[in-house]
Amino acid sequence: MSPRKIPLRKCIGCNEMKPKKELIRVVKNKENIVSVDLTGKANGRGAYICPDIKCFEQAYKTKKFNRALETEITEEVYAKLKEVIDN
């Protein structure tokens, strides 16, 4: 039996492929509500980022979340994400 495959996702800050469990997911649901998904199981379109403030600042400056989720991200979501990364 082969060991279970670890799902990889790309961090939108540093563009590195990392195991999904190491990344923080930001998700946009059908109602276009964007939230930080700490379970990684919420329905909707997801974008992943390293729990690293440098990746966050890079993604924030270049508005990568807006492109990845195809919607405008509110400062409230950025503040929550930054709080999760800082802890």
Task: Please report, rounded to a whole number, the percentage of residues in the chain having pLDDT higher than 90.
Answer: 90
d(CA 85, CA 64): 17
Q: Are 34 and 48 in contact (CB under 8 A)?
A: no
Name the band, by pLDDT with cuts 50, 70 and 90, for residue 87: confident
Q: Are 65 and 12 in contact (CB under 8 A)?
A: yes
Token pair belonging to 48: 């992943």
Q: What pLDDT score was predicted for residue 2?
A: 65
pLDDT digits (tens, 9 = 90+) for 19-36: 999 999 999 999 999 999
Domain segments of the chain as ranges: 8-86
1 pLDDT tier (thresholds 50, 70, 90): low
Domain 8-86 homologous superfamily, CATH: YlxR-like (3.30.1230.10)
Identify the pLDDT of residue 15.
96
